[in-house]
Structure 1
C-alpha cells in the first residue's frame, strides 16, 4: 500500500515469551545489514540467558550486540559512530528515559526497532513497551502456542512462586498461555 516509509520511524516487535520476537528482530537486523545501513544493536546486560553479548533466538540464530544496563550507555555507544539505525532487544528491561531518546532519534531520521514483552507474568503492561507502542509507526504483535490447550497464546505464565515483577528465566519458569488458560491457572495460585 505504501511505496516508501520515512527514514526515521519506530517499530515495535512484541508478544509473549516463546513467540519468536528475537527471531524476527534478527531477521530485520540482517535486512538492515544487506542494505548497508549502519546499525547499533543493543541488549540489556540483565538478560544473560543464552549469551552475555549476542542476541540468540530459540532457532539458534544469533547476532552480535552490545550488552548495556542504562540509557546513558546506549547514548554513549550511539554517538561514537554515524549510525542510521538503532535496535534494542528486551526493551522492557530498560528505564523510561529511553523513550525520549528513541523518539528524538526517530525525529532525526534514525530507524528504531525495539523488541520486548508487552505484559508481565500477571498480564500487566510493561510501561515502557506500552508507551513505545503508542508512539510507534509500526507494531507487530506475535503469538506463541499455549502450552495447555495449543491455541494462540498472548501471555507469559510464570510457574515459579516469586512475586518479583522481573525474574530472568526460560522454560524452567515460564510458559506461553492463551488468555483463558492463563486466567484459569492464575486464579488457582
Structure 2
C-alpha cells in the first residue's frame, strides 16, 4: 500500500474463514518491517487459539501480539501500548464491538496505517459487525474467498458445525474455533438449521 493522504489510512482484509485473511495481514506486516516501519499488533483476548499473545494463521505463521479486551472503553487501552509505531494491525476484528471503529478512525487521523483483518459475515451469513462498518470507512478493502469444503467452488460463507452437522440459526454468534467447528462454504452449500 502507498500513502494516499497526508494522514494515515485504514485497510480492511476480510472474507470467510480459511480464505487467507490473517496470512495476508502477516504478509503486509513483514513488508512494513522490511521498509523500516515500526509495527504494533493487537488481538482480542477472547481468541487464544494460537496463544494469548500471538496472531496466527491456519498455515502456521505467527506474529507476537498484544491481547486486549474486545468490548467498550477497554478497546481504547491499545493506545497505552503504542510507542510511535507507524503501522497498527488488529486481527479478528469481528470479535470486537463497534468501539473498534472509533479507535481505527482515531489511529488513522493520528497519521498511522491501520491494518484490520476479520470476518465480514457471521455463520448465519449476516453482516458481522463491526467489520462492515470498517469496510465502509476504509481507504482500502480486500475481500478474500476460500474454497467450498463441499463442492470446490469459491466460498464466501462460514459453515459452523456442531458434532459434524450444521449449526442451528439460534446458536450464539461468537464461537472461537477452527477446522473442528467451521468449514468454508459457497452460497449454495451453506446450510443453516431452523428446526
Q: Same fold (TM over 0.5)?
A: yes
Q: State the number of aligned residues.
A: 184
Tell me the residue number matched to 1:156.
Answer: 158
Q: For 1:19 and 1:36, locate their aligned partners in 2 and report how far apart those are by CA, in whole Å.
A: 28
Matched, 1:175 2:183: yes
Tell me the residue number matched to 2:10.
Answer: 10
Distance 1:27 1:148, change over 3 A: same
Q: For 1:120 and 1:63, locate their aligned partners in 2 and report how far apart those are by CA, in whole Å.
A: 25
Aligned match of 1:125 in 127, 132, 145? Answer: 127
Distance 1:92 1:188, change over 3 A: closer
Distance 1:3 1:26, change over 3 A: closer
Tell me the residue number matched to 2:46.
Answer: 46
Query: Which aligned segments of 4 or more residues in structure 1 are displaced greater than 3 angstroms?
Result: none
Displacement after TM superposition at 1:37 (Å): 1.1
Matched, 1:166 2:174: yes
RMSD of aligned Cα (Å): 1.8
- Unaligned residue ranges in structure 2 (runs of 5+): none
Q: Deviations over 1:81-110 (max 9, x none)?
A: 112111000011112112112112212211
Residues 94, 128 of structure 2: 8 Å contact kept: yes
Q: Deviations over 1:94-140 (max 9, x none)?
A: 12112112112212211000000000100111121010000010001
Tell me the residue number matched to 1:71.
Answer: 75
Displacement after TM superposition at 1:56 (Å): 1.4
Matched, 1:186 2:185: no
Residues 76, 103 of structure 2: 8 Å contact kept: no
Higher helix share: 1
Q: TM-score, normalised by structure 1?
A: 0.91
Q: Deviations over 1:159-182 (max 9, x none)?
A: 124611101111111010001111
Q: TM-score, normalised by structure 2?
A: 0.88
Q: For 1:72 and 1:139, locate their aligned partners in 2 and report how far apart those are by CA, in whole Å.
A: 23
Distance 1:124 1:64, change over 3 A: same
- Unaligned residue ranges in structure 1 (runs of 5+): none
SS in 1 for 2:11: strand
Displacement after TM superposition at 1:39 (Å): 1.5
